[in-house]
Amino acid sequence: MVTQAERDGIVTLTPGAASAASQRAELWNDDLRPCTREEHNWRASRFASLWIGMCLCIPTYSLASGMIALGMNWWEATLTIFTGSAVVLVPILLVAHAGTRYGFPYPVFARLWFGTFGAHVPALARAIIGAGWFGINAWFGGLALDAILSRIAPGWSGLGPHTAFAFVAFWLLNVGIAMRGPQAIGRLAAFAAPTLGLAAVALFAWGMHAAGGVAPMLATPASLHGGAFWAAFFPSVIGVVAFWATLALNIPDYSRYAVSQPAQLRGQLVMPLVMALFSFVGIAVTSATVAVYGKALWNPVDLLVTFPFPVVLLGGAIVILSSITINVGANVMAPARAFENLWPRTITFAIGAVMTGLLALLMQPWYVLATFHNYVFTWLGTYGTLLGPFDGIAIADYWLVRARRLDLAGLYDPASRYNYARGWNVRAILALAAGWIPPLIGFVVPALGFLWSGGWFFSIIVAGLAYAYFMRTDHSRLNAAEYATITELDETPAVGSAAAFAVSR
């Protein structure tokens, strides 16, 4: 029976299959359904804009400038950022292909490898990390708010835990806006990205002026040499990889809208360049702070409070604007949808946003950002190791096990081949455990510490190979003949409008 149509490499459900799937409320709602043909409308420029907006953020600045504090010089830090960004772009593009081809969001993609119920494991793992980033951005915004209030109201700094008060106020603002959904700040997001870009240019100009030119600004020598440099370089590259490891998982949430595979590929290729360019600004300015203040100020808010009052006011507003926009647009979507997916009839997006905010508090962002070591090696390194096996399993499943042949309707049917054993794919659980073994060995055996510091790299490879081996004869795989039986090729007209797929909750 034909249930899906493929044209120009994009697969959509037939109207009949979509109608049948929409009756299964436990697996289908308007957020989880696959895209219609008309909804595949994002061109390369849209993906480029998406990445520019996500790269121009305070955590990117802090990641890059912190490498100066670690002991690298400007070109070593820039090279580290570019290398890590280029490495993580590979799994991003491999996973993005699945989202574009089948038009499904990340939680539905996860059903393919973990099962209809087991998919909650990778979805919630992604949610935890998203909540962590929500807290980090909220902490940056809270510090900026605290700096502004300290300048506006002289008595503010005498209110005991004034920083905590500012953080809670900013956290409440973020959660309140997030409850209204990402669309509520669409215009604000369009304004924030270029504003932050202009602020970066202004900051670079200040650094150049304060240091006496570009050459003095970049003259801070490296303090890491020989083995010490490489001991910092590889974990730092993995830290950059981990910085975007979340997107390597849930990139289908965005790539599902691509008009074609070449469009999403061209648009996303800008990411390493944008990361390197904006990182260079952070690196150069941090190098200038060494010359001006005698120490590296890798947290931009620490630098902000050294400026005159008008600059603190304007700069603080920009940091706040950036933090709110990125939080609601990038860090709430995945966690809120994951929570919503647990009980779609009960948990709304607004409730999911509140749950994300509460989880962010439990992640203790003030501790994560206390030192650069905590930020890169504890936070980024640990969650990179956590997510690495999921990336490996997703890539191995789509490219090696199934050769890109899926039964799209089956992902919305609890009785389909993708239900596995009562909704769980035990082979995926075993591959996940196998992927975590090498980093854990490195964690407990000091002589093998490189296995922990490079945890993402080792876990993604081991988990992917283990999963491909475990699934090599699984009954859920479609051969070419079976795929042809359920798929109408090329001549299929565009599937109906989005309204035909909408279902009530």
pLDDT of residue 155: 87
Residue 283's nearest CA partner among 55, 80, 51, 54 is 80
- Averaged pLDDT for residues 253-279: 93
- Averaged pLDDT for residues 245-256: 88
* Two tokens, residue 214: 């570009």
Q: How many CB atoms lie within 10 A of CB 138?
A: 26
Spacing of C-alpha 210 from chain mean position: 35
| Res 492 pLDDT > 50 | no
pLDDT of residue 116: 92
pLDDT of residue 303: 81
pLDDT of residue 35: 94
Neighbouring residues of 379: CB distance < 8 A, sequence distance ≥ 6: 132, 368
| Res 499 pLDDT > 60 | no
- Least confidently predicted of 24-38, 76-90, 326-340: 326-340
The predicted model scores a pTM of: 0.85
| Res 12 pLDDT > 80 | yes
Q: How far apart are the C-alpha atoms of 328 and 470, rounded to whole Å?
A: 39
Please give the full DSSP string across 380-422, using - where no structure is assigned. Answer: IHHHHHHHHHHHHHHHIIIIIISTT---GGGGG-TTSGGGTBT
Looking at per-residue pLDDT, the higher value among 33 and 30 belongs to 33
- Averaged pLDDT for residues 313-333: 78
Instruction: Name residue 488's beta-bridge partners.
Output: 5
**3-class SS at 11?**
strand
**DSSP 8-class letter at 258:** B
Integer distance in angstroms from the first to the last C-alpha of the chain? 28
| Res 13 pLDDT > 90 | yes
pLDDT of residue 97: 98
444 and 371 Cβ atoms separated by less than 8 Å: no
Cα-Cα-Cα-Cα dihedral sign, residues 278, 281, 282, 283: positive
pLDDT of residue 501: 42
pLDDT of residue 89: 97
pLDDT of residue 464: 98
Confidence tier at 184 by pLDDT (50, 70, 90): low
pLDDT of residue 374: 65
| Res 277 pLDDT > 70 | yes
- Averaged pLDDT for residues 155-181: 87
pLDDT of residue 181: 63
**3-class SS at 4?**
strand
Tell me the backbone φ, ψ of residue 406, rounded to 5 degrees: -125, 155
CA angle 484, 485, 490 (to 5 degrees): 45
**DSSP 8-class letter at 424:** B
pLDDT of residue 67: 80
| Res 497 pLDDT > 70 | no
Confidence tier at 391 by pLDDT (50, 70, 90): very high
pLDDT of residue 320: 79
Looking at per-residue pLDDT, the higher value among 95 and 194 belongs to 95
pLDDT of residue 63: 76
Over the stretch 55-99, which tens digit does the pLDDT of each residue have? 877 778 777 777 877 788 888 888 999 999 999 999 999 999 999
- Least confidently predicted of 174-178, 343-347, 362-366, 475-479: 343-347
Confidence tier at 500 by pLDDT (50, 70, 90): very low
CATH number of 4-500: 1.10.4160.10
- Which span out of 284-288, 345-349, 353-357, 377-381 was modeled with the highest average pLDDT? 353-357
pLDDT of residue 329: 66
Confidence tier at 319 by pLDDT (50, 70, 90): confident
What residue has token string 């494991």? 121
pLDDT of residue 7: 93
Residue 133's nearest CA partner among 316, 334, 297 is 334
- Least confidently predicted of 5-19, 202-216, 467-481: 202-216
Average pLDDT score over the chain: 85
| Res 255 pLDDT > 90 | yes
Looking at per-residue pLDDT, the higher value among 433 and 362 belongs to 433
| Res 503 pLDDT > 60 | no
Confidence tier at 498 by pLDDT (50, 70, 90): very low
pLDDT of residue 397: 98
In the chain, % of residues over pLDDT 90: 41
Looking at per-residue pLDDT, the higher value among 499 and 155 belongs to 155
In the chain, % of residues over pLDDT 70: 91
- Which span out of 146-160, 234-248, 410-424 was modeled with the highest average pLDDT? 410-424
Give the sheet arrangement for strand 4-7, strand by strand. 10-13, 4-7, 487-489
